[in-house]
Amino acid sequence: MEIEILNIQKKIKVNKKNIKNTASAFLKYLKQRKDCILNIVFVSPARIKHINKNCFNKKSITDVIAIEPGKFCGDIYDNYLGDIIICPQKAKENSIKFKTSLEKETILYLAHGILHLLGYDDLRKKDSLKMEMKQQELMQYYEKI
């Protein structure tokens, strides 16, 4: 698996090794191709707000965005899963709000992003429940690795 991590924000330290290892473990658990490609990018609140507006016409800061291949620029490779954009500052805010660790909140966003790239959706209640259950399954798996 080819997993690229890019940290273009400066406020919160990102443990790239842990993120890469966890992403790899999640993809293996979800039985993805061994040659799949995934990009994970950590950005500032301003940058994720800009991406959210340009890609989804939403004018808000969000925690995670998953961009599937072909959605905006066409498929690059048949084994390219897409990009996950994470805002660590939002993760920090939410970790305080939900009384969890910054690490777990960030891993939750990683799981959520991966599931979106694999076709899970959370717009309709039925789909959202299915995605939430799979997300919880991934988080339980994370606790064991």
Q: What's the domain range around 35?
A: 2-144
Q: List the CATH number of the domain containing 68.
A: 3.40.390.30
Instruction: Strand 64-67: give its sheet, edge to edge.
Output: 2-7, 37-42, 80-86, 64-67
Three-class secondary structure of residue 78 per DSSP = coil
pTM: 0.94
Do strands 2-7 and 37-42 pair parallel, antiparallel, or not at all (unpaired)? parallel
The total number of structural domains that make up the chain: 1
Segment 86-102, tens digit of pLDDT = 999 999 999 999 999 99
Q: What is the pLDDT of residues 51-95, one digit of tens each?
A: 999 989 999 999 999 998 866 555 566 789 999 999 999 999 999
